[in-house]
Each structure stands twice: as structure tokens, then as C-alpha cells.
Amino acid sequence: AQDCSQFVLTPETERQILAQNSLFPFDFTKQPLSVQLTLRLPVFSGFTRQRQVAQAQAVNRDAVHSRRAEELRVQTAVTQSYDDLVTYYRSLQIQERNLEVAAEQLELARERYTFGAAAFLELLDAEDSMEQAERDHLAAVYDFHQAMWALEAAVGLRLRPLEAGGDEDEASS
């Protein structure tokens, strides 16, 4: 067994070693201040920048064209709905006039039948005409309201005023 006491690091030995080795890298001082600057110059990037710019421009053009197409679609829908509404309104006016005429003819046929100046078949024809005029008038009213609903859907707003005591929650939606 050998004596290893000579290899034990004592505080005195540590101070002697530190005093003798004051040069780099053993002087145990802080590292000096350092500054680092990195600069990248894209001398050749495989045309990725140009491709990205071209793609962005294409996406922008597509968005502009899509918006214009949607504007034209909405404008066409509103115009068509308005034209339909005008047509059905005129048709409704005609059907209202036909209803008035059919009512007058029925009244005249009843009077003529009462006085014996008309046959029963003439009275039946007048009643049939009145019933047909009522059906046509109802169909015209329905078509007009359907055209109004289509126009409201195309515009995105309620165009008819609310009726007194009507659905108020419909106006808020």
C-alpha cells in the first residue's frame, strides 16, 4: 500500500496552483464582451420569392374576380326578382279587374234570370266565370306575395311594413 497523502488537495496547495497559473485559460475571469452579427444575402433562392409573389398576385386576382362575380349574381337576382314582382303586380291588377267584371256579370245574369230574360245555363256560366275569376285572383295574390318574398330574399331586407299586432320577432330577425 502506498501513501497517497501527497495527492490530497489542501487549501494551501489550491492557492499556490491558482497563483502560479494566472494566464489564459486558467485566470478564471469573465469572458470579454462579444458581439455577433449575421447577415444573409439571398443571392440565389431558387426563384421561390418570385413564385410566392406570383402566387399571391394570382390569389388576389381570383378574390377580385370572385367578388365581382358575386356582385353580378346578387344584382341579377335583385333585378330579376324586381321584374317578377312588377309583372305579378300587374297581373294582380288585371285579376282584380277581372274579378270585378265577373261579379258584375254574375249580378246581371241573376237579374236577367230573375226577370226571365236569361236561361239557367247563362246563370251557371256566370257563376263559373265568377269562381274562375276568384281562383285566378287568389293565384295572382299568391304569386305577388311569392315574388315579394323572393325580392326580400335577394335584397336581404324586409320590404313590407309590419302589420299592427303582427309578428315583431320577425322584424328583429
User: What are 81-118's pLDDT values in tens digits?
Assistant: 999 999 999 999 999 999 999 999 999 999 999 999 99
Q: Are 92 and 141 in contact (CB under 8 A)?
A: yes
Q: What is the pLDDT of residues 59-77, one digit of tens each?
A: 999 999 999 999 999 999 9
Residue 123 in grid coordinates: 246563370
pLDDT for 56 equals: 95
Q: Is 1 a residue whose pLDDT tops 70?
A: no
Question: Which of the pair, 11 or 46, is modelled with greater confidence?
Answer: 11
d(CA 15, CA 98): 124
Torsion, CA 17, CA 19, CA 22, CA 27, rounded to 10: 70
Average pLDDT, the chain: 86
- What is the pLDDT confidence band of residue 173, given thresholds at 50, 70 and 90? very low
pTM for this entry: 0.60
Percent of the chain scored above 70 by pLDDT?
A: 83
What is the per-residue pLDDT for 83? 96
Judge whether residue 168 has pLDDT over 60.
Answer: no
Q: What is the dihedral of CA 145, 149, 155, 157, to 10 degrees?
A: 100
More confident residue, 5 or 87: 87
Q: What does the alpha-carbon distance between residue 70 and residue 77 come to, in Å, rounded to a whole number?
A: 10
How many whole angstroms separate alpha carbon 107 and alpha carbon 118?
12
All cell numbers assigned to 54: 406570383
Asked whether the beta carbons of 85 and 77 are under 8 A apart, the reply is no
Residue 141 has pLDDT above 90, yes or no: yes
- Domain positions in the chain are 68-152
Q: Which of 142, 117, 96 is nearest to 104 (CA)?
A: 96
Q: Which of 150, 167, 168, 87 is nearest to 159 (CA)?
A: 150
Percentage of the chain beyond pLDDT 90 is 59
Higher local confidence (pLDDT), 15 or 143:
143
pLDDT at 29: 52
Half-sphere exposure of 91 (CA within 13 A, CB side): 17
